[in-house]
Amino acid sequence: MTAPEPWTFGVEPLPQALALAPLVREVTGLVLALEHEDPAVDRLLDDLRAAAAALAARVSADPAPRLGLDAPADRRPYLDHSRDVGTYNPAFPDYDITVDGPRATGTVTFPLAFEGPPGFVHGGVLATFFDCAIQHHNCDLGVAGRTASLEMTYRRPAPLGVPLAFTIDREADDRRITSWGRLALGDDTLCTATMAAVVGDRSRLPHVPPRAAAP
């Protein structure tokens, strides 16, 4: 039996987005760690305001994604959220993952931008991480779908700035995918996740138009 093709849905992020995301997370952490205001931040704010004004004139006024065969051409492109969202969106965590059939393993390091309790990762970020990593696992195996439930169990605080190991195991049938995730520091389990997803039908996904030609 031939394995399904990996699941993708959306266009690739721009190289500039891939360069921007880690830099924004790093700069955010540095600003949060400052003892006092700094002139470098004032210069950065001026540059960001100028960039925001320039970019606002270049993006679509319609915030809806461009999906479907008859989608208006002036809507924004929809980026592929099946995997590696943190590589192009600084609001999401970035991680390394290796998929080997029903088991996936990897590492993740949470920067200061994701702090909750002092020195530790915000619990909501940990849930977001598992939602992303588990769906990444599902999409790489070619059978994925919408999240139906995600249950987190927090056992120990997850420290910032430290490489943490994770594992994901899953079972799937024709209707549902159930995944179990574990985040650990050495032998210590920091938190676990149990996620259920409804198996999707790729043929029913709307058409994703490509990016418009460069002017």
Residue 93 is given by DSSP the state: -
Phi then psi dihedrals of residue 140, to 5 deg: -65, -30
**How many C-beta atoms surround the C-beta of residue 215 within 10 A?**
4
Asked if residue 164 belongs to a domain, the reply is yes
Range of the domain at 23: 15-204
Number of domains in the chain: 1
- Against a cut of 0.85, is the pTM above it? yes
Asked if residue 179 belongs to a domain, the reply is yes
What pLDDT is stored for residue 213 in this prediction?
85
Asked if residue 10 belongs to a domain, the reply is no
* pLDDT tens, position by position, 128-172: 999 999 999 999 999 999 999 999 999 999 999 999 999 999 999
Asked if residue 48 belongs to a domain, the reply is yes
